[in-house]
Structure 1
Amino acid sequence: MPGPPGPLAVQGRRGARTTRLIASKTVGAVLVLLGAATAAFFAQASLPGDRATVILNIRAGQAVARTAEELAPINAEYRLHDPIVVQYLTYLKGLLVGDLGTSYQQHRPVIAIIGEQLGATIVLTLTALVFAWIIMVVWVTLTAGRGSAARAVGGFFDTAAAGLPHYWLGIILLLVFALTLGWFPVIGGTGPVGIILPALTLAIPLAGFLGQATRTEFERALDSPFVLSARMRGMGDAGIRLRHVLRHAVLPAVTLSGWALGATISGAVVVEAVFARPGIGQVLVTAVSSQDMPVVIGIVMLIAAFYVLANLLVDIAYALIDPRLRRTS
């Protein structure tokens, strides 16, 4: 009878499973992006009215009837007389090379318009993520496993914070800390002080959501044998919570980090509009008000890409780190 497989054979099988899992996750991510692109294209194609007339009226700044001679250059530029399937395939081909189309209003590549403001949005998003983790870690560490009253209060605020709408929270923070107390600029603050309120507007709901995912694991970890061992060695409660319990409890929050990044990017669009900050939020508001659909769709696709890419990276990281995921593939 053949003996058990050797170490090299076992390692090869694990490598093959990991490769299949990563490949399946990647294919799934591509299909999600394809679905988002398809929905965006046909949403634009199904809008009422003649697209060439809409484009020309946007550029001219007035809505009037247009002659065939006026519309001919627009139809040729955007290939609007091509069959819808040809337009769709051309659109997908452009996405593959990073071409999001041309703005109706500015008559410039959409990718250039978004790129000019994307940096400010990314800075706001990363700042909000840092704030959210700080708030979550401090709040959960202070309230989890502290008795029924503290646990109830902690859980209540996790749930309440997670359900706060960004636009409502932003207005409240503006009214209290900018208008009433005067601690922060009301609108358009681009320096270190000006980013605090917008970042908190994004961070507080996210901290509540991450806190919900972390609290249960935190309290479960407090009952683990390694906590009892640390107490017997004389370690204080704060040290146990921060050095031992926290690193086990935050794994669910790390798992949700891909979703959190995408949610924060999309929330930043709303927050930038509330605080009149530079970023893709202002670009989106302007594009929607002027019916500049290529810019609107470009921003939607960008947010979808952030969601998908962040979640794909988290899935791949877990496939490489956690052998249990490989065994189920």
Structure 2
Amino acid sequence: MTRNLLNRIGQAAVVLLLAFTASFLLLQALPGDALLIKYQNPEMGLSAEQIAEIRVLYGADAPIWAQYGNTLWNFLQGSFGYSIQAGVPVNTLLATNLPPTLRLASLGLVFAVLLAGTIAFAATLAPFAWLRNLLVSLPALLVSVPVFWLGIMLIQIFSFRFRLVPVINPSEFQALLLPVATLAIPIAAPLAQILIRSLDEVQTQPFVAVARAKGASRLWVLWRHVLRNALLPVLTIAGVLFGELLAGAVVTETVFGINGIGRVTEQAVSNQDTAVLQAIVILAAFGFVVINLLVDLAAPLIDPRLKRSIGATA
């Protein structure tokens, strides 16, 4: 088990290094110079010598390999540099804007899991074939809905038509309802698809027939015996969908005007603020790696057969 954990951590470190290198090279290849775009503005009244000093201060005049090494070393120390447009450390921007995004993403994930479980259980226990077919086809419809369109439609329906969620001066709870739903619905769709198929597959196993033969109800067998064996594929796909969760959070924050990482990303792209963009990319990669590492560690707890196979290969 320890060897497997060390291997996973080593793989995670390699993934983060590759993500850092790719983001650094791609951002450096962007046309234009964010420093010149900002400080060569005639309204600022800076001379060429002053602009050159600013470039030295930001390290923009150093060779590309030196910039790479300095940036990597700073990242390892937890320093993400300075935002060119905001003029403050990137750490400050992240500390201010990351909590709303984490709250939105975590609530969206919880709601997505609950929605996916509800659809899957309803489809499995549906008493009529037409109702089951309707529920089974529902995730395919939800996964095809664009996030920005879904957010706009939810605002139109629940805020403007039925006036259930106020647009102006909503409470903290009301302000989260539509963004969380917008983020969760597209994520819940593939989770529901995988869970429905996994439940159907597990229900064909002999131990299910034995449990039913002993007098257990269908709901009891589904909850006590089938669900745990069907969760592993869902857990795996949930880790993969974490990246989509972050991407959806960026779009959702833009639609609903939430001040989070999505708004910071939008402004950084518009202003070519490479330090901010690279920090956000590495932060997203780190979150993705951590989530998938936790999924790998949790899998043997759900399926003991994986624990025995890991012990056999160690």
Within 5 Å, which residues of 2 pair with 1:37-186?
Answer: 37-57=20-40, 67-144=47-124, 146=126, 148-186=129-167
1:293 matched to 2:278? The reply is no
Deviation sequence 1:191-220 (CA, Å, 0-9, x none): 112211111111111111111111112012
- What's the CA shift for 1:102? 0.3
Within 5 Å, which residues of 2 pair with 1:174-253?
Answer: 174-186=155-167, 189=170, 191-253=172-234
Stretches of structure 1 that go unaligned for 5 or more consecutive residues are 1-17
- What's the CA shift for 1:54? 2.6
Distance 1:165 1:239, change over 3 A: same
Alignment size in residue pairs = 309
- Counterpart of 1:171, as a letter, is I
**Distance in 2 between the 1:212 and 1:42 partners?**
38
Query: What SS class does the counterpart of residue 104 from structure 1 fall into?
Result: coil
- Counterpart of 1:33, as a letter, is L
Stretches of structure 2 that go unaligned for 5 or more consecutive residues are none
Moved over 6 A (4+): none
1:27 matched to 2:3? The reply is no
Report the TM-score, using the length of structure 2 for normalisation. 0.88
Contact 2:232/2:299 (8 A) holds in 1: no
- What's the CA shift for 1:131? 0.8
- What's the CA shift for 1:77? 0.5
- What's the CA shift for 1:232? 3.5
Paired residue for 2:309?
324
Distance 1:55 1:97, change over 3 A: farther
**Distance in 2 between the 1:194 and 1:308 partners?**
30
**Distance in 1 between the 2:227 and 2:186 partners?**
20
**Distance in 2 between the 1:203 and 1:188 partners?**
23
**Distance in 1 between the 2:27 and 2:168 partners?**
33
Report the TM-score, using the length of structure 1 for normalisation. 0.84
**Distance in 2 between the 1:136 and 1:233 partners?**
30
Deviation sequence 1:247-291 (CA, Å, 0-9, x none): 222221122232233332231111111111221112222222333
Contact 1:101/1:109 (8 A) holds in 2: yes
Contact 1:269/1:282 (8 A) holds in 2: yes
- What's the CA shift for 1:153? 2.2
Q: How high is the sequence identity, in percent, across the aligned residues?
A: 34
